[in-house]
Amino acid sequence: MRIRRLSAFVARLPLKRPFRHASATRLESENILIKCELASGIIGWGEGVPRSYVTGETPAGCLAQLAATPVAEQLTADCSSWPEVIALCERFQPMQDRDDPRGCYGNALRCAVELSVLDAFGRLFGEPVSAVSSHVPEAQPILAHPQPTFVRYGVVIDSGNRRLRLKALTRRLYGFRDCKVKVGAAEDDDRARLRTIRRWFGPAVDLRIDANEAWRADRLQQHLNPLLAQRISCVEQPVPHAEVACLAELRPKLGVPIMLDESLTSETDAREAIAHRTCDLFNLRLSKCGGFLRCLRLAALANHAKLGYQLGCHPGESGILSAAGRHWACSVANIRYLEGSYDRHLFRKLLTNEDATFGFGGRAPSLHQPGLGVSINLATLEQTTQDHLVCKVL
Ligand SMILES: [Mg+2]
């Protein structure tokens, strides 16, 4: 079976309420959606979340990059098995118009195209996308045997003090086991915030923090030390990527494991982090890291280096990425933390007909329908589409 055409859409999805962290405040999410149509008429959907401060991508840039890529040449192969589909996905290489030493420019587009292809062929084969993982040779040591019937997501508390007690208490009552707190915003007293959150969330919850590159390496210990009293289990991306090399020396003195996020976008970044021992954990996000298959390989690299990994998400992911993340999380063992599937809590209107939002305690079931197991609400797509592009393959 061959791909007939790809269609790309830039969709602007309004959020229910603003989401704040040290690098950005967002009221809406501009995502790139890809529709992959097979010669038989079967359709698959994929999604990427381009963020200029993470991989340098923008939604308009993704469309331009796709338009400049020889898609018909790259995606023309005939596929009848998962290994052939994996090889097809690897042949997709977005056109580069700039130096890309970290190998991350185009990752949101890669992710969107790859997910659409996996969804379409999963539907053709009558198998869920989670089935592809066992066909990736590098992923063998990290596969979950057997796959779980449900997974548990954690929750995030964003920057600011607004209704902090209520946020902590309601999330505690909802049964979450772990919580990530955004820190490092200039106007925030993070020591007081964490004390409040610990008090109202209770002693049992696993609390970790994400500074989104807010602190300078030479002041890192001063920022962190007052927060350690709240028994934080991990600090995510404490310094800007430009200063990440300093973590090699600082890390053993900090008294808390370090997770890289903005500094972990590609295999190049991962090998650098492993070689220089700048972290204890990787934050893998499907869109940031270039898709489902690349995230499998990055998790396998972390595992081989005896580092931990989590599957994170971008605030603003719709049900397509929620479903893709669920398939990934159900096929991989030993995921330290799992983020995502916030759909109904994020959006006024869902882009998918199915609601992938987690339930009580952050629990969400594994998905067994063919492909990603979600379908697009075409009316919502039409209302939110800003721009689109069609690439013929056949
Ligand atoms: Mg982060």
48: DSSP letter: E
pLDDT band at 149 (very low <50, low <70, confident <90, very high): very high
The class (CATH top level) of 135-365 is alpha beta
The runs of H, that is alpha helices, within 34-101 are 52-55, 59-68, 71-74, 82-91
| Residue showing tokens 């772990």 | 178
Query: Which CATH code of 3.65.10.10, 3.30.390.10, 3.20.20.60, 3.30.70.20 fits the domain covering 3-126+379-392?
Result: 3.30.390.10
Checking if the pLDDT of 17 tops 90, the result is no
Instruction: Compute, in angstroms, the gap from residue 136 CA to the centroid of ligand 1.
Output: 27
pLDDT tens digits for 276-323? Answer: 999 999 999 999 999 999 999 999 999 999 999 999 999 899 999 999
111's CB contacts (< 8 A; 6+ apart) are 46, 47, 48, 286, 287, 289, 290, 291, 292
Structure tokens at 236: 């995510």
Mean of pLDDT values over 337-352? 95
- As a whole number of angstroms, the distance between CA 199 and CA 216 comes to 28
Report how far ligand 1's centroid is from the alpha carbon of 309 (Å). Answer: 13
CA 209 to ligand 1 centroid distance, Å: 9
pLDDT band at 329 (very low <50, low <70, confident <90, very high): very high
pTM: 0.97
Residue 234 alpha carbon to ligand 1 centre in Å: 12
**Sequence spans of domains, the chain:** 3-126+379-392, 135-365
CA of 235 from ligand 1 middle (Å) equals 9
The Å distance, Cα 261 to ligand 1 centre, comes to: 5
Backbone angles phi, psi at 116, to 5 degrees: -65, -35
- Cα 6 to middle of ligand 1, angstroms: 31
Identical topology for domains 3-126+379-392 and 135-365: no
Q: For residue range 97-131, list pLDDT tens digits in order.
A: 999 999 999 999 999 999 999 999 999 999 999 99
Please check the confidence at residue 227 and state whether its pLDDT lies above 90. yes
Per-residue tokens: 218: 């030479």
**CA neighbor of 294 nearest in space, from 128, 113, 152, 119:** 113
